[in-house]
Amino acid sequence: MDLGIRGRRAIVCGASRGLGRAVAESLAEAGANLVLNARGLDGIEQAADEIREKHGVRVDTLASDLTTEEGCNRIAVAFPTTDILINNAGGPPAGDWRSFEREDWRTATDHNMIGPIFLIRNYLDGMVGQNFGRIVNITSIVVKQPKAMLSLSVAARLGLTGAVKAIAPSVAGNNVTINNLLPELFDTDRLRQNLTTIGKQNGRTLEEEIAEHMHIIPAKRLGKPAELGATCAFLCSEHAGFITGQSILLDGGFYPGLF
Ligand code: NAD
């Protein structure tokens, strides 16, 4: 299927590895020109070279922490407009909620709620003016199924989800959509680090911990980042203009609820 986004500009945050990198690949495959962001240049320069060579699209890079005010302003100056924005960054640390100080809650909110909201603010009016825009926030299953040890993530990401739901209807008539993708158990560096930590607590190796998780995933496997990339590219396509304000799970059937 031609996604109808050839030549469009897509800003992809957290693109040096994992889910962000997979989204960048899928958008490039559809012919979009990319702006890749991560905090350091190393990972994104390599990703940019590989994507240019493979897909022949234009790829620019910007090393900056976009969850900060300074980073948000930097990208607005360097790239004042975009057709597609993918909000993605690392998640907050896990831990007992009593152990977190005020600063931890502020940092989580900055990274996973306020940062993405201000990036949306950077680009939304331009998207409305050009009658095309696609924004996808990569959040987490915890938005639908909170976990005790991930209270920072639950709180910050629910704030973003609520803001998006409030904003999305106001721009839907201008062919601008805002949606959230909620991953669980995708095979990325971050997941392997988390499972290594959990495995140590349980006296298991990483491989044994992954095998344990197979029992609780109906699909009996971890998610492939490319699967999330392809779903995200579809949401960014010209065909997805009637989908907005949604939080879409990608979890191999893990979530037990109806809605
Ligand atoms: P990852 O650690 O493999 O990759 C994260 C990427 O974001 C890296 O490129 C990193 O350099 C970049 N990054 C981190 N903080 C940044 C910042 N402040 N500014 C710019 N770039 C930043 O993680 P992943 O597994 O790809 O996860 C991506 C997102 O999805 C995270 O928010 C994570 O919490 C969420 N998530 C992932 C899973 C999963 O199964 N992998 C499950 C639930 C939620």
pLDDT in tens, 58-81: 999 999 999 899 999 999 999 999
In this structure, are 152 and 214 located in the same domain? Answer: no
Pocket flag, ligand 1, residue 42 (CB < 6 Å): no
Residue 17 in domain: yes
pLDDT in tens, 114-147: 999 999 999 999 999 999 999 999 999 999 999 9
In this structure, are 151 and 215 located in the same domain? Answer: no
Owner of token pair 């998006």 = 164
In this structure, are 14 and 67 located in the same domain? Answer: yes
Contacts of 50 (CB under 8 A, 6+ apart): none
> 259 and 26 in contact (C-beta within 8 Å)?
no
Pocket flag, ligand 1, residue 9 (CB < 6 Å): no
Residue 2 in domain: no
In this structure, are 163 and 60 located in the same domain? Answer: yes
Alpha-carbon distance values, 151 to 19, 86, 181, 242 (Å): 22, 24, 19, 32
Alpha-carbon distance values, 212 to 148, 207, 223 (Å): 20, 9, 15
As a whole number of angstroms, the distance between CA 109 and CA 100 comes to: 13
In this structure, are 173 and 63 located in the same domain? Answer: yes
Provide the domain limits for residue 213. 187-222
Pocket flag, ligand 1, residue 66 (CB < 6 Å): yes
In this structure, are 115 and 83 located in the same domain? Answer: yes
Pocket flag, ligand 1, residue 39 (CB < 6 Å): yes
What is the 110 CA–ligand 1 centroid distance (Å)? 15
Residue 170 in domain: yes
Pocket flag, ligand 1, residue 157 (CB < 6 Å): no
What is the 18 CA–ligand 1 centroid distance (Å)? 7
pTM recorded for the entire structure: 0.97
Pocket flag, ligand 1, residue 4 (CB < 6 Å): no
In this structure, are 46 and 125 located in the same domain? Answer: yes
Pocket flag, ligand 1, residue 64 (CB < 6 Å): no
In this structure, are 198 and 89 located in the same domain? Answer: no
As a whole number of angstroms, the distance between CA 155 and CA 18 comes to: 23
R_g over Cα of the chain: 18
Q: Which CB contacts under 8 angstroms, 24+ apart, belong to 73-78?
A: 75/11, 75/35, 75/37, 75/119, 75/122, 76/122
What is the 173 CA–ligand 1 centroid distance (Å)? 31
What is the 14 CA–ligand 1 centroid distance (Å)? 6
What is the 155 CA–ligand 1 centroid distance (Å)? 17
> 182 and 254 in contact (C-beta within 8 Å)?
no
**Band of pLDDT at residue 41, cut at 50, 70 and 90:** confident
Residue 104 in domain: yes
As a whole number of angstroms, the distance between CA 52 and CA 37 comes to: 15
Domain count, the chain: 2
In this structure, are 94 and 126 located in the same domain? Answer: yes
Alpha-carbon distance values, 30 to 5, 9, 70, 127, 138 (Å): 7, 11, 31, 20, 19
Pocket flag, ligand 1, residue 252 (CB < 6 Å): no
pLDDT mean over 164-192: 97
Pocket flag, ligand 1, residue 251 (CB < 6 Å): no
Residue 133 in domain: yes
**The pLDDT value given to residue 57:** 98
Residues 124/62/229/55 CA torsion (nearest 10 deg): 110
CATH of the domain at 60: 3.40.50.720
In this structure, are 98 and 205 located in the same domain? Answer: no
Residue 3 in domain: no
Owner of token pair 């971890």 = 222
Pocket flag, ligand 1, residue 116 (CB < 6 Å): no
Greatest distance between any 2 Cα atoms in the chain: 56
What is the 145 CA–ligand 1 centroid distance (Å)? 19
Q: What is the mean pLDDT of the chain?
A: 96
Residue 160 in domain: yes
pLDDT for 38 beyond 90: yes
Residue 1 in domain: no
In this structure, are 131 and 153 located in the same domain? Answer: yes
As a whole number of angstroms, the distance between CA 211 and CA 199 comes to: 11
In this structure, are 137 and 161 located in the same domain? Answer: yes
Pocket flag, ligand 1, residue 188 (CB < 6 Å): yes
**The pLDDT value given to residue 64:** 94
Could you tell which of 12, 19, 111, 143 is best to mutate to test the pocket of ligand 1, judged by most ligand atoms within 8 Å of the CB?
A: 19
Query: Which residue owns the Cα nearest ligand 1 atom 7?
Result: 14
Of the candidates 152, 138, 224, 243, the one whose C-alpha atom is nearest the C-alpha of residue 182 is: 138
